[in-house]
Amino acid sequence: MLFKKNQNKEQQAFSVWKSLKSGLNKTRDILLSDIGDLLSLNNLGTDELLEELETRLLLADVGIDATEKIINGLKTDIKKQRPDSAEEALILLKQQMINVLKAIESPINLSVSAHKPLTILVIGVNGAGKTTTIGKLTNLYKNSFKTMIAAGDTFRAAAIEQLIAWGDRNSVPVVSRAQGADSAAVIYDALQTARQQNIDLLIADTAGRLQNKNNLIDELKKIRRTITKFDPELNVITLLIIDAATGQNALNQAVQFNSDIGIDGLVLTKLDGTAKGGIIFAIAESLGIPLHYIGTGESINDISPFNAQDFVSALLSIKT
């Protein structure tokens, strides 16, 4: 039985790796197509190779700082270790990339204190994948924690319906009000209901409309104050959802949200099929906020805890 359980786990891990690997095809194409030629023995360590790699990293949105760090590290390693095959050189590159990403590898800390419910406040611009990520996270957590969802995005009726559908799919209750209701009031309602029902974990959706950005930030601040009013000791995790496909824009949003309201952790969505997967390195180097999960599709299981080593293995297609 135990053996079977482990085997299932291994199969699951393998399938996550496979889907991540295929999701990162486009980014990998930019980074590595024809690079085998460059990495051939004669070229190893030449400035030409490193220059080409640098260009590729920048094209994949790795960003200037992270690119410099990776290239300088690789230069030193090549000098020191004198790899004598393309494969060996790739492993050195891989290690440099892992080093950058290790800084933001940190699992979400879901410790439920006496002040329940532990609250995850999910924020991010429209279309980033907030509601979908809530559906996926609920599925991950619902067996370990008594979970409830709050429909804090009251801007569009469709947003509320979409969240209720995710609640139904997960058999988890959703607290909602009509479209146009005050978002902070919905979340306050949900907190009260959660406490009455001895709920461990409340996951709250929020609006992300862009057209009136100042209002959005004001609304998020108000929600934050409302939660504190409910219980100043409540443990709140503010989780920012960003869309990897928007590249540099995703990074800018994270910087902005972090300075306006403070972010505890990140989820990077839509890593499947984007050529901008390199943004993850830029985020690590310039923001340093823990990246808890990555989203690689629209289905309920298309989410995995972020692991630097697995990510780079999938990206470079080397499983060592």
Closest contact distance (angstroms) between CB of 299 and ligand GDP is: 9
Residue 159 found at the interface with Mg ion (CB under 5 A): yes
Return the closest-CA partner of residue 217 out of 228, 209, 229, 205. Answer: 209
Number of residues binding to Mg ion, judged by CB under 5 A: 3
Closest contact distance (angstroms) between CB of 134 and ligand GDP is: 8
Whichever of 77 and 272 has its CB closer to ligand GDP, that residue is 272
Number of residues binding to ligand GDP, judged by CB under 6 A: 18
Distance CA 19, CA 30 (A): 18
Q: Are 131 and 162 in contact (CB under 8 A)?
A: yes
The pair of three-digit structure tokens given for residue 224, joined into one six-digit string = 């934050």
Instruction: Please identify which residue in the block is written with the tokens 């989820």.
Output: 267
Residue 277 found at the interface with ligand GDP (CB under 6 A): no
Q: Scan residues 40-99 and list those touching ligand GDP (CB under 6 A).
A: none
Q: Scan residues 199-258 and list those touching ligand GDP (CB under 6 A).
A: 208, 241
**Which string of DSSP letters, residue by residue, matches 107-124?**
-------SSPPEEEEEE-
Which one of 26-34, 142-150, 159-167, 239-247 is the stretch in contact with Mg ion (CB under 5 A)? 159-167
The pair of three-digit structure tokens given for residue 58, joined into one six-digit string = 């920048």
Phi and psi, residue 101, nearest 5°:
-80, -25
Residue 126 found at the interface with ligand GDP (CB under 6 A): yes
Which one of 29-37, 58-66, 142-150, 152-160 is the stretch in contact with Mg ion (CB under 5 A)? 152-160
Task: Tell me the longest C-alpha to C-alpha distance in the chain.
Answer: 70
The pair of three-digit structure tokens given for residue 226, joined into one six-digit string = 């409302």
Closest contact distance (angstroms) between CB of 221 and ligand GDP is: 19
Closest contact distance (angstroms) between CB of 245 and ligand GDP is: 8
Q: Are 295 and 259 in contact (CB under 8 A)?
A: no
Q: What does the binding site for ligand GDP look like in residue numbers (CB under 6 A)?
A: 124, 126-132, 208, 241, 269-270, 272, 295-298, 302
Q: What does the binding site for Mg ion look like in residue numbers (CB under 5 A)?
A: 130-131, 159
